[in-house]
Chains A and B, each alone.
Chain A
Amino acid sequence: RKKPLEPKMSRSFIRVFKDYAKMPVATESFRIVEKCTEKYFKQLWNDLAAFSSHAGRKTVEVSDVEVLMRRQKLVTDEIPLHVLIERHLPLDYRKLLIPVAVSGNKVIPEIKRS
């Protein structure tokens, strides 16, 4: 039985921190990042569960995460959600979240909510 008791974010994803840091990161720092990640997720799931149960649902919807990101001041009137999606997520996922890409005709499509 090698399986860990609690599902966690994998180490390789925590390494993304290094890409964002743009400077050398001490090896022992990653342990702290890992700890922060755990705390972050604990709070995240709490918040999302609160939002969706407030709406009377048992499923966390896209809109719940959007509300959360608005509270975190990540999504604002100047920076709508689909801009963040375009900046940070790879194309395959962008296609799932934004069915029609914004192109030269400047038509901004509705974000799929399901």
Chain B
Amino acid sequence: MGRAAPRAALRKMLKNEKPGFRLSACADLLVHLNFLLFLRRLAEEARTNAFQNRSRIIKPEHIILAAKVIEHF
């Protein structure tokens, strides 16, 4: 994916969630990478669920099922 990472947003999110902690120079890029991989995994699981239900479109319930599977991620 050729998108720019939301580096400032990631830093703000960490600061909001865990005051006192900060992200080092390149760590935010890896967090972004992790997020992309999470989305990819969620999308793949949801896609499988949609196929199993013979649905041609990914519906909310497919994603909810997928999210339950990867909860222990």
Contacts and interface: CB of A to CB of B under 8 A. Distances in A.
Contact of B43 (A17, A45, A68): A17
Interface residues of A, number: 57
Contacts of B18: 45-46, 49
A90 B60 contact: no
Categorize the interface residue count of chain B. Answer: 35 or more
A17 B3 contact: no
Given A45-B17, A59-B23, A62-B24, A24 B58 contact: yes
Nearest to A53: B21
A13 B1 CA distance: 11
A30 B37 CA distance: 17
Interface string B33-57: 1111111101110110010000011
Per DSSP, chain B at the interface is: helix
B30 A62 contact: yes
Given A17-B39, A40-B38, A24 B57 contact: yes
Nearest to A41: B13
Contacts of B62: 29
Interface of B: 1-6, 9, 12-14, 16-18, 20-27, 29-40, 42-44, 46-47, 50, 56-60, 62-64, 67, 73
5 contacts: A21-B47, A22-B43, A32-B60, A33-B42, A65-B31
Interface of A: 6-10, 13-14, 16-17, 19-26, 28-29, 31-33, 36-37, 39-42, 44-46, 48-49, 52, 58-62, 64-66, 68-69, 72, 74, 81, 84-85, 88-90, 93, 96-97, 112, 114
